[in-house]
């Protein structure tokens, strides 16, 4: 495996790719760079037919992307605060991720990437949708893009997390949940591209607008992000691993497998504080060698 080059197979022209040939426990540096580059280029990557990673192995893989993030509310694996236990049964009141969101965008430094492996799942697997917030931004009209680049939004979590995990033994009495202000349009530090950074779960207000204006604009933006044209759909299989970039995607883990059980481990990488760079040309993509982004990414004329 040490001399093997990974195979990257795009899932759609806009978002998603399958990575084949990876031994996630023994990736050499060149293979990891290829894996990381595939994540930057495709926003979410899928690796099937993996062994069940131990908590230590999954943590080690996550740390190759950067320091790990600890979830402010969710239950973690005993002895491993970095590992968020994803577990849904027929008795569950909620299913993790069952709605469009970006992971923990309420934090001052929201997650860079999430690595999720499912070990127990029904025959159907269950599906997760991923949406490109690059494509969502790039297909807006130029006047609306220019307005959004001047705005900030509040991302709060009290309404999401308070009592959410009580049935799994989490006592949040006295706990203060995070709230942060981020730009509505953020610049990706690796690709240089701009992404729309608001989501239904955590975004509560566009700060420079009245409440009515904010509500109306946010609803339009949410519906725009959720367009099928910007999505890829992943059907889970046992021990498959998905890695997604929270800086330029949203996802929706469908609860389409009830009443079956699904369980796995999630490790999240800490990101930078979101920022907007007004000087960077949004049509330039350093990942593609500094050339202009492909025409497929500028499709506003046909939407």
Per-position pLDDT tens, the chain of length 303: 445 799 999 999 999 999 999 999 999 999 999 999 999 999 999 999 999 999 999 999 999 999 999 887 677 788 999 999 998 899 887 787 889 999 999 999 999 999 999 999 988 889 999 999 999 999 999 999 999 999 999 999 988 877 677 676 666 777 788 899 999 999 999 999 999 999 999 999 999 999 999 999 999 999 999 999 999 999 999 999 999 999 999 999 999 999 999 999 999 999 999 999 999 855 554 444 333 344 334 433 334
**How far apart are alpha carbons 150 and 171 in whole angstroms?**
39
Q: Is 101 part of the annotated catalytic residue set?
A: yes
Residue 79 domain flag:
yes
Residue 22 domain flag:
yes
**How far apart are alpha carbons 44 and 115 in whole angstroms?**
10
Instruction: Judge contact between 130 and 290, C-beta under 8 A.
Output: no
How many Å separate Cα 43 from the centre of its chain? 8
Question: Per the residue annotation, which of 42, 69, 103, 285 is the catalytic one?
Answer: 103
Integer Rg of the chain from CA: 19
Residue 2 domain flag:
no
Question: Per the residue annotation, which of 164, 224, 251, 265 is the catalytic one?
Answer: 251
Residue 239 domain flag:
yes
Residue 107 domain flag:
yes
For the domain that residue 51 is a member of, what is the CATH number?
A: 3.60.130.10
Residue 155's φ and ψ, nearest 5 degrees, are: -115, 110
Q: Is 266 part of the annotated catalytic residue set?
A: yes
Question: Per the residue annotation, which of 71, 164, 266, 285 is the catalytic one?
Answer: 266
Residue 195 domain flag:
yes
H or E stretch at 198:
none
User: What is the total count of domains within the chain?
Assistant: 1
Residue 126 domain flag:
yes
Residue 118 domain flag:
yes
Domain residues for 133?
7-302
């Amino acid at each position: 495996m040490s001399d093997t080059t990974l195979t990257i197979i795009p899932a759609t022209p806009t978002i998603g790719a399958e990575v084949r040939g990876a031994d996630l426990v023994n990736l050499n540096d060149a293979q990891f760079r290829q894996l990381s580059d595939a994540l930057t280029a495709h926003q979410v990557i899928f690796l099937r037919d993996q062994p069940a990673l131990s908590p230590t192995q999954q943590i080690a893989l996550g740390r190759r992307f950067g320091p790990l993030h600890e979830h402010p509310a969710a239950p973690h694996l005993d002895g491993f605060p970095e590992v968020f236990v994803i577990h849904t049964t027929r008795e569950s009141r909620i299913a993790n991720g069952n709605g469009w969101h970006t992971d923990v965008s309420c934090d001052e430094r929201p997650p860079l990437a999430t690595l999720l492996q499912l070990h127990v799942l029904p025959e159907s697997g269950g599906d997760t949708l991923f949406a490109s917030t690059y494509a969502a931004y790039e297909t807006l009209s130029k006047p609306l893009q220019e307005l959004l680049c001047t705005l900030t939004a509040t991302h709060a979590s009290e309404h999401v997390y308070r009592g959410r995990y009580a049935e799994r033994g989490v006592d949040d009495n006295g706990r203060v949940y995070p709230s942060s202000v981020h730009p509505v349009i953020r610049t990706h530090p690796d690709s240089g591209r701009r992404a729309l950074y608001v989501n239904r779960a955590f975004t509560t207000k566009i700060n420079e607008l009245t409440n009515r204006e904010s509500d109306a604009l946010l609803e339009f933006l949410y519906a725009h992000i959720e367009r099928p044209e910007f999505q890829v759909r992943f059907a889970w299989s046992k021990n498959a691993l998905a890695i997604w970039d929270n800086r330029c995607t949203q996802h929706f883990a469908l609860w389409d497998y009830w009443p079956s059980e699904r369980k796995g481990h999630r490790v999240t990488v800490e990101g930078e504080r979101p920022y907007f760079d007004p000087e960077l040309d949004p049509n330039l993509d350093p990942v593609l060698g500094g050339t202009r982004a492909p025409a497929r990414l500028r499709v506003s004329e046909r939407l």
